[in-house]
Structure 1
Amino acid sequence: MVVNLKILNNPVSITLEFINKIAIPYKACGITQDPETKNYMVVLNDICEKCNEVCNSIHFQRNFKNWTSGNNDIDKFIQDTQLSEHTFRVRNALEWIPYDRLDTYIAEDDEIDRVYRTNWTDGCICYWNNKNQNWERTDQNRFVTLKILNNPANTTLEFINKIAIPYKACGITQDPETKNYMVVFNDMCKKCNEVCNSIHFQRNFKNWTSDNNDIDKFIQDTQLSEHTYQVKNALEWIFYNKLYDIYVDEINKMYRANWIDGCINKWDNENQNWKRADQNMFITLKILNNPADITAELNKV
């Protein structure tokens, strides 16, 4: 365990000094002596004065010496959020996130606002594990968004007004090449205030296209409307090679086939992918005569 040592200035009057100044505000474990200085010292539990126990603020405080952002204002801001954590689960504490814990590929998302998206290897701090003497974390390899801090010296005001209020921030990092400080925050839905299905769909927009802007937008709009646990109305772009045994139903003037993947059902947090139902299901294909007016076409179907 981590303990504090308090020098006894007057060992002759140990009872009075101990009771009045040390034993009351702290939980003492014992007394020791430095063999070189001959000073007697009380061995005290390193506990929080507010909680009277070893809470999260103490675990954070013990680690202050192991990290720095290289900027005193940012260090103090992060430390202040950590020192405010007195509950079992960490709620609002930020942390200094080394840049190499973020995915090396960072794609610019919005040139105007200079917002970037990436993956964070470690995930958010959740609570302290006494057995392992380390933090338990959740959502490893999660998607996060990076927002450049334009004025690190005024971190508190900028952070509260522009970043902390609309988003749930995780920490702060620094690009070693540009030297820009960036806030790392959850890539959350503004409507749900969490990572809902619309966010999972949105993250995948760059990985597919129909090569038709009207169709792309129509599919994306249905996906962005998904805010419940199970996917209900979202469409997706289905690659043709995922269909097999395609044939023409001459009677109904339609194509029929089997679809390998099946319908999207819900998001699997553990595997970071969609769970699907009805793999190899039978489906019907209807030709779109006017993709530019896809809404009207689908209403006919």
Structure 2
Amino acid sequence: MKNLWFLIFIIVFIVQTSAQINIEVFNYTKKPSNTATIVHKQPIDSVTVFEKIVLDGSDSKVPFYHFENKRPEAKNYIILLHGLGGSKNDWVYPSKPYLNWSDNLKSIKDSLISQGFSLIVPDAKYHGERSYELGFRPAENLPPLLSKNETDGEHFEVLMSSTIKDVRIIMDYFQDRYVDNNISFSIIGYSMGGAIAIILNAVDNRISTIVSCVPPLHHPEKELKGFNWSEEVTNGLKTVTASNYAAFQKSPTMLLLGNQDFFYTDDEVTNFMENIPLTQKEVNYFDSGHELPNEYKVDVLRWLNEYGVLNN
């Protein structure tokens, strides 16, 4: 009887959540692989090749870094997603003012390569080389509580939904490019990137596993109280709120969080994890705020080696 009531609860939760979100915004038209251009290529060592690639995304050009690992025959890809206001360079070129944090991102990237993973590192919409799409305005000012502007709310929804579609288009490209290889895709996302990872794990069946680091689970929906914005904008922002996708997680899910981070509460995290209908799920807290300490790298590598590796 207890299991029956739990099943009923999950069904009701899914129905209520589905009424609030519109996952059709993540649908896209598949692009021909010949729209991609390798604009730079160089060997890093005898088994690793670096490429910079630009392809046609959902609504604009998408530049990304590709680290091709020739150690294993199988192509085990990890997609590295940066946070709001960051760029693909956060994972590659450590810089101030968050030098220690970006040093750790680079360390994760280097460790993944040494362990045989290939990497995809894109710029999110409005970020990095794509900042011109927002008129070079800082994308970190778009969330409702900061901008207090409905048009910026629309921009934030587009930022999230377009980036999700772009990542799916990038996966298409590599499936076409390596049609004769076994290929898998896993994701590490930090902050906004962690929220995007959660949504991708709900809407795309190709994700093997995700590691979501300090995701703002209930944002931007949590920020909408007090704003009398249109239903279209409000529902659009709910659709790009990660917490609404707990019940739809398809693959093993790890959350790495700071116990002093203001982007989520213990109750919010507990509810989110309880609503994930998987046994392969884990949440770990660190004694930190939004910037995780170096130790989180150990959990990242452990989880990806357990769930993100195909046999050759």
Query: TM-score per shorter chain, which class?
Result: under 0.3
TM-score (normalised: structure 1): 0.23
Higher percent of residues as helix: 2
TM-score (normalised: structure 2): 0.22
Higher relative contact order structure (alpha carbons within 8 Å, sequence separation ≥ 6): 2
Higher percent of residues as strand: 1
